[in-house]
Structure 1
Amino acid sequence: MTLRTPRPLRLGALIAVSALALTACAGTPAPAPASAQADAFSSSDVWVKAADEGMSAGFGTLANTGDTDLTVVSATDDATSSMQLHETMQNESGQMVMREIEGGFVIPAGGSLELAPGGNHLMFMDVTTPLRAGDETTITLTFADDSTARIVAPIKEFSGANETYEGDMGDMDMGQ
């Protein structure tokens, strides 16, 4: 004697088994992706020194609204062939000099980093497109996690920022 299972019952059992199999394959849900460092970044009062050629610099306040430190590892701008993140340091002879910072700018959790003439700044190493007062330029910052943030900065006349640079930069012109 052959027992036959009614067709609706077989279909229901097949659906239930399939659902259980899919649930077992799924396992635990994947963790939500960590937010990008750029998501916790903001800036204010950013501006760039006007220059037709040579070097220039960008200044302003970089802020971190997150609960972990942010690290800016590089910067780019279409107006220059190369940018560096610079710090002010005292050299062996006691002179204050500017040089590329090792490891990038760290913006503390819940804090800010001031970029200012005579202090930390974004260095436009070789201006290839004139930076004219009254115009704007767009700086792209890259963070340690490869996320990026864009800053639109006004260009201003400024007679300062003619600092001494350490190493091979000592003979470069600051775009006077």
Structure 2
Amino acid sequence: MNRVLASAAALLSLAACSPGEPAPGPGAPTVAVADALCRPTPKGRRVTGCYMTLTAGAADRLVSVESPAATLVQIHESRMESNMMMMRELRDGLPLAAGETAVLAPGGNHLMLLGVEEPLVAGDTVTLKLIFETAAPVEVTATVGQPSVSEYDQAAPDSGS
């Protein structure tokens, strides 16, 4: 009995010390990311928006985002309320439908970088780590620049941005 308990304790100790998350197996759900872009930050401004398209192979949820360029990254939505554009954090993340493209765009769902450490200048890049409920995390390199309004017209036709 003591040998069984000792063996179990040793296995639990090893499991607790194993680094990181397990690699997804073959056929694990994935999320494709395209057109990642973050707006530049004028001198003194420490917040900015980032946009991209996400396509999940299976139903999933973007639950959080990390970036070395900012203290905090939040997933936000913008919508009209009482004739005013309002923005709020999606605390439960952003649902992703299987096989459908979710567009993060000005005037709609987007990422907010808060506490930007160094000014983001057009032409620079920003690393973003997207963390999903099911799929493996995806690291993205976003270009810093101004989004083309026509690029997002179809995604957020009533945004006014």
Distance in 2 (alpha carbons) for counterparts of 1:146 and 1:112: 15
Match of 1:97, SS state, is strand
Are 2:73 and 1:83 equivalent residues in the alignment? yes
- Which residue pairs with 2:98 in the alignment? 109
Q: How does 1:12-27 map to 2 (within 5 A)?
A: none
Distance 2:136 2:148 in 1: 34
Q: Which runs of 5+ in 1 are unaligned?
A: 1-31, 161-176
Distance 1:130 1:94, change over 3 A: same
SS in 1 for 2:91: coil
Q: TM-score, structure 1 length as denominator? A: 0.63
Larger radius of gyration: 1
With over 3 angstroms needed to count, the CA separation of the structure-2 counterparts of 1:35 and 1:100, relative to structure 1, is farther
Aligned to 2:145: 156
Residue 71 of structure 1 is matched in structure 2 by: 61
Instruction: Show the counterpart of 1:46.
Output: 36
CA distances 1:67-107 after superposition (whole Å, capped 9, x unpaired): x312010001111001100011344x442211101311111
More strand by share: 2
Shift of 1:146: 7.4
Within 1, Cα distance between the matches of 2:32 and 2:54? Answer: 6
How far apart in 1 are the matches of 2:86 and 2:140? Answer: 26
Of 39, 50, 60, the match for 2:52: 60
TM-score calculated relative to the size of structure 2: 0.68
Give the root-mean-square deviation of aligned CA atoms: 2.4
